[in-house]
C-alpha cells in the first residue's frame, strides 16, 4: 500500500477503481488491462501496483465491499418489517445499482450472485427465525433471486418508479405473493 497522506491515498485508489468500473462496463473482465486503467485514471502502472496486485484483485475487493455493505445493512435492518428491509436494499441498489447490475449481468462474475445471496441468508435466517434446512434454503433462494431480478429490471428502466414506490411494490410481493399483488394492480 502506498505510504502517502491518507486523503491522497484514498483519492488515488478511488480514481483507479472508478477507471476499472468504467472499463469493466464496456468490456469483459479479461479485456480490462492495467495499462487501460492507469491511462484512464491518469497514473502510471507502478501506481496501480501500489494498490492492487492485478485486475482481478480490484474486482474481488469491490465485490467484497458490496457484500460487506449488504451484510451491514442486513444486520442493522429490522427483518420483521419488510418495508424497512426492502427500503434498505433499495438504498443499496440506488447507490450501487450499476455495479451490482454489472456483476449480476451476463458479463458479470457468476460467483458474485452466490456471495451476495450467501451474505443475506444468515441474517435473514437469524432475524426471521427461519430454520436452517433445505426447505428454508429453497424458499430463500426463490425469494432473493426474484428480488434481485426485479431490482435489476427496475434499475435498468429509464422511467423507473421512485425507490419508495418500488419498495412498497416489492413488500406486497413478499408479504402477499405474486398472484395477489398482480390482481391488486
What domains does the chain contain, in order, with CATH numbers? 6-52 (1.10.10), 59-177 (1.10.357)
Q: Is the pTM of this model over 0.85?
A: no
What pLDDT digit, counting tens, does each position of 114-132 carry? Answer: 888 787 776 666 655 666 7
Residue 137 in this model has a pLDDT that exceeds 90 = no
| 137 to 59, 80, 86, 125, 145: CA distances (angstroms) | 27, 18, 19, 9, 12
Place of cell 472508478: 18
Length of the chain: 185
Cα distance between residue 154 and residue 74, in whole Å: 21
Which helix or strand (DSSP H or E) is residue 154 part of? helix 134-156
Residue with cell 430454520: 131
The pLDDT value given to residue 105:
78
The helices-and-strands tally (H runs, E runs) of the chain is 9, 0
At 28, list the grid cell.
469483459
In the predicted model, is pLDDT for residue 2 greater than 60?
A: no
* pLDDT for 87 beyond 70: no
Amino acid at each position: 500500500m502506498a505510504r502517502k497522506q491518507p486523503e491522497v491515498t484514498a483519492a488515488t485508489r478511488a480514481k483507479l477503481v472508478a477507471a476499472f468500473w468504467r472499463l469493466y462496463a464496456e468490456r469483459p473482465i479479461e479485456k480490462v488491462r492495467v495499462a487501460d486503467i492507469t491511462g484512464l485514471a491518469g497514473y502510471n502502472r507502478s501506481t496501480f501496483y501500489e494498490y492492487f496486485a492485478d485486475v482481478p484483485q480490484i474486482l474481488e475487493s469491490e465485490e467484497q465491499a458490496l457484500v460487506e455493505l449488504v451484510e451491514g445493512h442486513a444486520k442493522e435492518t429490522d427483518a420483521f418489517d419488510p418495508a424497512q428491509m426492502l427500503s434498505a436494499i433499495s438504498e443499496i441498489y440506488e447507490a450501487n445499482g450499476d455495479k451490482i447490475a454489472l456483476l449480476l449481468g451476463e458479463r458479470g462474475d457468476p460467483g458474485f450472485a452466490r456471495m451476495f445471496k450467501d451474505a443475506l441468508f444468515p441474517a435473514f435466517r437469524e432475524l426471521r427465525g427461519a430454520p436452517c434446512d433445505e426447505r428454508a434454503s429453497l424458499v430463500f433462494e426463490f425469494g432473493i433471486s426474484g428480488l434481485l431480478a426485479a431490482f435489476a429490471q427496475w434499475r435498468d428502466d429509464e422511467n423507473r418508479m421512485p425507490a419508495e414506490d418500488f419498495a412498497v411494490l416489492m413488500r406486497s410481493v413478499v408479504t402477499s405473493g405474486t398472484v395477489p399483488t398482480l390482481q391488486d394492480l
